[in-house]
């Protein structure tokens, strides 16, 4: 059995290597160059710990904590932190000049490079502060009349549901919701559920690309096609998808998409993006007013007053880190880490997986429940006794703990989590 003290000491050695990468960002760049030179197949590389150790060391995480909550927000690699600090230092030299006149115009190249990741035109991509802002631009920016209906599931993100609920109180619209099967194994069944709940008054559909409760990947393309057939705009909440697994605009064929960049793209905290198809820009009001000449300009969604340029510009460094790893390699590694614990623990007849492990239905995030142990108490125990960070999920339909490793997570950490869980399943948490 792995001794906890030895394990944490082992983590300390890795933390030291990470700290070295922070002190010497050139070293972190060298890591990326080595990675770029590596020509292995993504699947073969997923289990190659020597390869991934180099990526792990590009981060400055505290390895005395086993952070398996990378769904909420992710640490950024040292080079991203460093870029942000440099831009911030420069901003403060004479902000009215250095920040407004020098740095802010540079965000156009960030727009272009993010647009290349999503494979859309830069003229369709706005830089926002997070997915919440992106989605609220859409949800509050569309004209709706009293009695109009909007459709969502009970598994969408609470803030996005609250946005519709506020419009119910403010504008007299009606939010219709339905619940999803757990786990959701059959994409066609999900599309049918959306179709069944559309009424003649439905004016907008909200869909999560990845369900925050379970990590379930939703059939976004088919639901967007359904919306188009019925003339209903579909707002895709991609908070958890961009930078997590590989897809582009062509795969979704959507008109509206919002994401956070501080989750899976490992960009600075407080960064997000909004895609709006060119011909639909004029249909959405910005959250903060912009001049009329900008009605058809995607930049109207960025009219938020004075804000730091440093966060936005350092997105460029996060994109280069992401491309350096390679999106396919990242996706394969994340699935490998997820399968490593999920396949091991699901052998127990007391473990219920609430996430489908079928190809294409989930990636890094999965949610499990141990029958007989309340999930809130289990999450507290993991933290208090083992310094393992997971999220307790409590929903009307189910409960569980959500586990989300990232590229900096080591196999040791995953195995320590699995071993701890096996002991808890055997002995309980008292
Ligand atoms: C599905 C979904 N939408 C929106 C958000 C909001 O993201 P942020 O807090 O980065 O705005 C989250 C956050 O976890 C989420 O899971």
Summarize pLDDT for 363-411 with one digit per residue, the tens: 999 999 999 999 999 999 999 999 999 999 999 999 999 999 999 999 9
| Together in a domain, 166 and 206 | yes
Per-residue model confidence as pLDDT tens digits over 63-83 = 999 999 999 999 999 999 999
> Terminal CA-to-CA distance of the chain, rounded, Å?
20
Mutate to test the pocket of ligand 1, among 157, 261, 270, 271 (most ligand atoms within 8 A of CB): 157
pLDDT of 22 > 60? The answer is no
Structure tokens at 273: 């993006």
pLDDT of 13 > 90? The answer is no
Q: What is the Rg, in whole angstroms, of the alpha carbon atoms belonging to the chain? A: 22
Under the banding of pLDDT at 50, 70 and 90, the label for residue 344 is: very high
- Tell me, yes or no, whether 74 lies in a domain: no
Which residue shows structure tokens 């419009």?
A: 167
Q: Are strands 399-403 and 366-370 parallel, antiparallel or unpaired?
A: antiparallel
| Together in a domain, 128 and 234 | yes
- Ligand 1 within 6 A of 264 CB? no
Report the percent of the chain where pLDDT is more than 70.
91
| Together in a domain, 153 and 121 | yes
- Tell me, yes or no, whether 430 lies in a domain: no
- Tell me, yes or no, whether 73 lies in a domain: no
Instruction: Give residue 213 CA to ligand 1 midpoint distance, Å.
Output: 11
Cβ contact 31:17 at 8 Å: no
| Together in a domain, 378 and 260 | no
For the chain, the average pLDDT equals 93
- Tell me, yes or no, whether 293 lies in a domain: yes
- Tell me, yes or no, whether 393 lies in a domain: yes
Q: What is the pLDDT of residue 36?
A: 57
- Ligand 1 within 6 A of 130 CB? yes
Instruction: Give residue 347 CA to ligand 1 midpoint distance, Å.
Output: 32
| Together in a domain, 214 and 272 | yes
Instruction: Give residue 238 CA to ligand 1 midpoint distance, Å.
Output: 8
Q: Hey, is 284 helix, strand or coil?
A: strand
- Tell me, yes or no, whether 362 lies in a domain: yes
Question: Residue range 282-311: average pLDDT?
Answer: 98
The whole domain housing 36 covers 4-67+326-425
Q: What is the pLDDT of residue 89?
A: 98
Q: What is the pLDDT of residue 18?
A: 40
Q: Atom 12 of ligand 1 has which residue's CA nearest to it?
A: 239
- Ligand 1 within 6 A of 340 CB? no
Q: Hey, is 33 helix, strand or coil?
A: helix
| Together in a domain, 20 and 131 | no
Instruction: Give residue 131 CA to ligand 1 midpoint distance, Å.
Output: 6
Under the banding of pLDDT at 50, 70 and 90, the label for residue 20 is: very low
Q: What is the pLDDT of residue 39?
A: 53
Report the percent of the chain where pLDDT is more than 90.
89
More confident residue, 262 or 26: 262
| Together in a domain, 115 and 231 | yes
Domain termination residue (choose one: 304, 319, 334):
319
Q: Hey, is 286 helix, strand or coil?
A: coil
| Together in a domain, 335 and 315 | no
Q: What is the pLDDT of residue 272?
A: 98
| Together in a domain, 242 and 331 | no
Question: Residue range 30-47: average pLDDT?
Answer: 69
pLDDT of 264 > 70? The answer is yes
Domain termination residue (choose one: 275, 303, 319):
319
Question: Residue range 294-313: average pLDDT?
Answer: 98
- Ligand 1 within 6 A of 217 CB? no
| Together in a domain, 140 and 216 | yes
Q: What is the pLDDT of residue 42?
A: 80
CATH number (domain holding residue 160): 3.40.640.10
- Tell me, yes or no, whether 380 lies in a domain: yes
- Ligand 1 within 6 A of 269 CB? no
pTM over 0.85: yes
Cβ contact 429:378 at 8 Å: yes
| Ligand 1 atom closest to 210 (CA) | 1
Q: What is the pLDDT of residue 43?
A: 82
- Ligand 1 within 6 A of 74 CB? no
Residues 6 or more apart whose Cβ sits within 8 Å of residue 207:
152, 153, 156, 194, 218, 220, 223, 234, 235, 236, 237
| Together in a domain, 180 and 220 | yes
CATH number (domain holding residue 371): 3.90.1150.10
- Ligand 1 within 6 A of 212 CB? yes
How many distinct structural domains can be found in the chain? 2
| Together in a domain, 46 and 94 | no
Q: Which of 19, 6, 7, 78 is nearest to 388 (CA)?
A: 7
pLDDT of 339 > 90? The answer is yes
Helix (H) or strand (E) holding 391: strand 391-394
- Tell me, yes or no, whether 158 lies in a domain: yes
Domain termination residue (choose one: 296, 319, 342):
319
Cβ contact 214:182 at 8 Å: yes
């Amino acid at each position: 059995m792995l001794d906890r003290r030895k394990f944490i000491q082992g983590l300390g050695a890795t933390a030291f290597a990470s700290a070295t990468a922070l002190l010497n960002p050139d070293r972190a760049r060298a890591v990326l160059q080595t990675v770029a030179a590596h020509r292995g197949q993504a699947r073969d590389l997923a289990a190659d710990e020597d390869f991934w150790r180099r990526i792990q060391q590009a981060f400055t995480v505290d390895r005395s904590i086993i952070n398996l909550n990378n769904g909420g927000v992710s640490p950024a690699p040292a080079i991203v932190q460093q870029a942000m600090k440099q831009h911030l230092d420069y901003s403060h030299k004479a902000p009215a000049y250095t920040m407004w006149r020098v740095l802010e115009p540079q965000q156009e190249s960030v727009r272009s490079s993010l647009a290349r990741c999503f494979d859309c035109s830069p003229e369709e991509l706005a830089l926002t502060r997070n997915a919440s802002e992106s989605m609220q631009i859409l949800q509050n920016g569309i004209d709706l009349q009293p009695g109009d209906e909007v459709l969502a599931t009970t598994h969408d993100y609470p803030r996005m549901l609250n946005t519709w609920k506020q419009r119910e109180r403010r504008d007299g619209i009606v939010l219709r919701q339905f619940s999803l099967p757990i786990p959701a194994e059959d994409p066609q069944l999900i599309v049918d559920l959306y179709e069944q709940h559309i009424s003649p008054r439905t004016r907008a559909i909200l869909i999560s690309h990845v369900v925050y409760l379970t990590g379930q990947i939703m059939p976004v393309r088919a639901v967007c096609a359904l919306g188009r057939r019925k003339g209903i705009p579909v707002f895709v909440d991609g908070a958890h998808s961009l930078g997590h697994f590989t897809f582009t605009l062509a795969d979704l064929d959507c008109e509206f998409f919002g994401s956070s960049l501080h989750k899976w793209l490992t960009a600075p905290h407080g960064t997000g993006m909004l895609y709006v198809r060119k011909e639909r820009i004029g249909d959405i009001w910005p959250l903060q007013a912009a001049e009329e000449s900008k009605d058809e300009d995607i930049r109207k969604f960025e009219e938020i007053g004075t804000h730091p340029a440093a966060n936005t510009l350092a997105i460029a460094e996060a994109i280069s880190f992401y491309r350096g790893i390679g999106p396919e390699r990242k996706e394969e590694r994340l699935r490998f880490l997820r399968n490593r614990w999920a396949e091991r623990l699901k052998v127990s007849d007391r473990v219920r997986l609430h996430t489908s492990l079928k190809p294409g239905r989930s990636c890094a995030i999965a949610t499990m429940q141990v029958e007989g142990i309340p999930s809130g108490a289990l999450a507290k125990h993991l933290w208090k006794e083992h310094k393992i960070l997971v999220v307790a999920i409590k929903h009307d339909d189910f409960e569980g703990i959500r586990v989300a490793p990232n590229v900096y997570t080591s196999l040791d950490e995953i195995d320590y989590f699995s071993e701890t869980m096996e002991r808890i399943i055997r002995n309980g948490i008292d």
